[in-house]
Structure 1
Amino acid sequence: MTEVERPPFENPDHWDKTARNYQQTAHRFTSHYAEAALAKVPLTDRSRVLDIAAGTGALALAAARTGAQVLATDFSPGMVACIEEAGLANVETRTMDGQALDLPDASFDAVFSIFGVIMFPDWRKGLREMARVTRPGGHGVVATWQDQGAATFLLLGQIRGRLFPDRSGMTMPEAVQALSDPADFARELVAAGYRDPEIDSVTHDFLLDVAALDEPDTLFGMSPDWTSLSDADKALVVAEVRQMASDRTELPIPSTALIGVAMR
C-alpha cells in the first residue's frame, strides 16, 4: 500500500459520509459492549470521563447517564454532530485526533476507546495518549474486535470465503490483529503506560434484520468486502444470507470483543 492509498477508515471524510448509516445500523449493537466496559469502572457525578474516537456516542451517552462529566472526541465532524444531537448537558464534544490529543496530562478519571483507537494508523501512539491524559489511579479501557471483526463485516467475510474462496477479503486494521491475543493486548496496555491490565472476552449477537436485505447497500455499504463486489456477486451474497436465515426474521451473528481495563 502506497502512502496515498490509505484505507477508508483512516479518512474522516469516510466517517462523515457514513455517520448516519453507522448511527442507524451499528450504534445499538456497539452499545452492548460500551455498557460492558462501563460496568468495569466505578463512575460518579464527580468523575471526568473521556471517550476517544467516540463515533456516534455509544459509550459517551451511556457514561453521561451515570452523572459523570463526559468529553466525547472524534476526528469526524459528522460523528461528533450525531452526539451533539442528544443534547445532554453533561456531554461536551470536540473534533480531535486521538493520536494527538489537545488535552492536558492526567486530566481524566476514566478514558475509554470503544473500537476507536484500534482504527488509528499509529494505534500505539493512541494508547500512549490515552495513558497520558489518565490521572494516576484512574482507568483506561479499550475494546477491540477479535478474528475478522463483527456483525455484517464478520458475516460478509465468512460468506465471501465460501462463495469466492480464491479472492482476498478485507484486511483488518493492524491493531485488531496485534491485540487479538489477550496476553499481547495486556502487554501493549503496559507498554503504553498503564498497569495491572485485565482482559475479558464479551460476545453479543448482532441481529441482522432480514427485511433489511431489500436495501443491501445500506446494510453492508460500510464494508469493502461489499463495495468491491459486482452487482451479480452482491446478488449471490444476498441469496446466501437469505438461505442462512431460512424462515427467521432475524439472523444472529455472534460477535466477540476483547475489553481491556487497566490502571494508570
Structure 2
Amino acid sequence: MRQFENKDHWDSAASHYQQTAHPFTALFAEAALARVTLTPQSHVLDVAAGTGALALAAARTGARVLATDFSPGMVGCIAAAGRPNVEARVMDGQALDLPDAHFDAVFSIFGVIMFPDWRKGLAEMRRVTRPGGYGVVATWQDRGAATFLLLGEVRQKLFPDRSGMAMPEAVQALSDPDDFARALVTAGYRDPRIDVVTHDYLLDVAALDAPDTLFGMSPDWTSLNDVEKAAVIAEVRDRADGRPILPITSTALIGVAER
C-alpha cells in the first residue's frame, strides 16, 4: 500500500496538514466554488474532504454540506470547526454510503485523485449527483505542487540518477485537459470544462530551520540521509537568495461537469 492510500498516515498527519496544506488548498477550493452557484437551498458533498478546505468554504454560502473522508483524523478536524451546516462522516469515496442522485454539487479537491480506484471514485461522485447537478474535481499537474514540487525539482538537480516519489496514477492520467474531460464523461458526466488555475505557495524560508516539519509528509524527504537533507536545505536557501519568502508556482486543473 502506498503511503497516500493509508488512512493511518492521514490520521497521524491531519493536524500538520491542517496547518500547512489546508490554507494553500483553500485557494483552489475557492476557485472551484466560483465555478458553481450555491445557495442556502443547495445540498453539497465534499468527497475525500481532508481537513475541509472546500466543505467549510461551501458552508459560508449557507448550503448544507456533507464532508466525507476515509481518515477519522481528517474528519475530526472538520467536525471541530463546529459549523452547524456541515456534517462530517468517515466514508470510503470509492463506495459512498449515500443514495443516488442526492446532491446538487459534488466536489473533490485533490481527493479522488489519491484513490487506488480513482475511476470508481469519479463514478461514485456522478452516482450521487442529481440530474442537472455538478461534479467538480481538482487535480495537480503531473509534478505535484508546493513543497512536493520543490523537493522533486531539487532532488532532480542534486541526485539525477535517483527516482523520486511516484505521483498517484490519477494525477498522471488527468494531467492533460483532454484526458481529464474524457474521464469525467466516462464516469457519466457531460459537457466537461477544464480550467487551469495557478497559485504561488509561499514558503517561509525560516521554516527550513525545522525541515522535518516542513517536508516530513513527503517520501522524497524521508528517504534521504542527513547529508542529503543538508544538501537539499542548502539548495532551497540558494533558490531563496536571501528573500524571506520563496514562491513555488503550483498549477492545478479544475474540472466541472454536469450530470
1:155 aligns with 2:158: no
CA distance in 2, matches of 1:262, 1:205: 26
The correspondence for 1:187, drawn from 182, 194, 198, is 182
* Residue from 92, 99, 107 that aligns with 2:94: 99
Aligned residue for 1:177? 172
CA distance in 2, matches of 1:115, 1:37: 11
Q: Which runs of 4+ in 1 moved over 4 A?
A: none
Of residues 173, 184, 208 in structure 2, which corresponds to 1:213?
208
Percent sequence identity is: 78
Q: Residue 199 of structure 1 aligns to a residue in which SS?
A: strand
> Which of 91, 111, 123 is the matching residue for 2:118?
123
Q: Which residue of 2 aligns with 1:223?
A: 218
Structure 1, unmatched stretches of 5+, are 1-5
Whole-Å Cα distance in 2 between the matches of residues 231 and 104 of structure 1? 51
Q: Which AA in structure 2 matches 1:244?
A: R
Letter in structure 2 aligned against 1:127: L
In 1, the alpha carbon distance for the partners of 2:226 and 2:18 equals: 26
**Gaps in structure 2 of 5+ consecutive residues:** none
Root mean square deviation of aligned Cα: 0.4
1:67 paired residue among 54, 62, 67: 62
1:234 aligns with 2:229: yes
The superposition leaves residues 171-207 of structure 1 with CA deviations (integer Å, 9 ceiling, x where unpaired) of 0000000000000000000000100000000000000
**Residue 203 of structure 1: which of 180, 198, 209 is its match?**
198
Q: 2:77 matched to 1:88? A: no
The yes-or-no answer on 1:16 pairing with 2:11 is yes
How many angstroms does 1:34 deviate by?
0.1
Counterpart of 1:100 in 2: which secondary structure? Answer: coil
Deviation at 1:246, TM superposition (A): 1.3
2:37 to 30, 34, 42: 42
Q: Describe the SS at the equivalent of 1:257.
A: strand
Cα-to-partner distance string for 1:41-84 (whole Å, 9 max, x where unaligned): 00000000000000000000000000000000000000001111
AA aligned opposite 1:172: M
| Number of equivalent positions | 259
CA deviation vs aligned residue, 1:99-148 (integer Å, no higher than 9, x gap): 00000000000000000000000000000000000000000000000021
TM-score normalised over the length of structure 2: 1.00
1:77 counterpart residue number: 72
TM-score normalised by L of structure 1: 0.98
Return the alpha-carbon distance in structure 1 between the equivalents of residues 173 and 52 of structure 2: 25
Aligned to 1:3: none
Q: What's 2:162 paired with?
A: 167
